[in-house]
Structure 1
Amino acid sequence: MKANVGGIDRILRIIVGIALIAATLTGALPVWGWIGVIPLATGLFSFCPLYSLIGVCTKKSS
């Protein structure tokens, strides 16, 4: 599992994930809002399985 999510992409995934989950918990979104777990997890782990499949990497080489 090589990191393939970096920088702005990672930050946006975490923010969107938290926002979707928070909106679901407050009742602003129905149950589908739990989909926010996916961008939150991919942002926290810096790994996106879909990116691996299509050969995308937003993480800068170090």
Structure 2
Amino acid sequence: MTVNMGSADRAIRAVVGVILLALVFIGPQTPWGWIGIIPLATALVGNCPAYSVFGIKTCKKK
């Protein structure tokens, strides 16, 4: 897999993922928080499958 996400994009996804996962354990304790695994995983890997499909790259590397 190639990296297609920039550092700002990855940081935003990581924060959103952690916040969503926090909903499972803290707060309303809703199972919808498990959706936070998706943005967190894409942030850790650096590759977004949707970006690959649409040909989007937010990283500065070539």
TM-score by length of 2: 0.90
Q: What residue number does 1:20 align with? A: 20
1:6 aligns with 2:6: yes
CA distance in 2, matches of 1:23, 1:32: 8
Unmatched 5+ stretches in structure 1: none
Counting matched residue pairs gives 62
In the TM superposition, what are the counterparts of 1:1-62 in structure 2 within 5 Å?
1-61=1-61
Unmatched 5+ stretches in structure 2: none
CA displacement at 1:35 relative to structure 2:
0.3
Matched-pair identity in %: 47
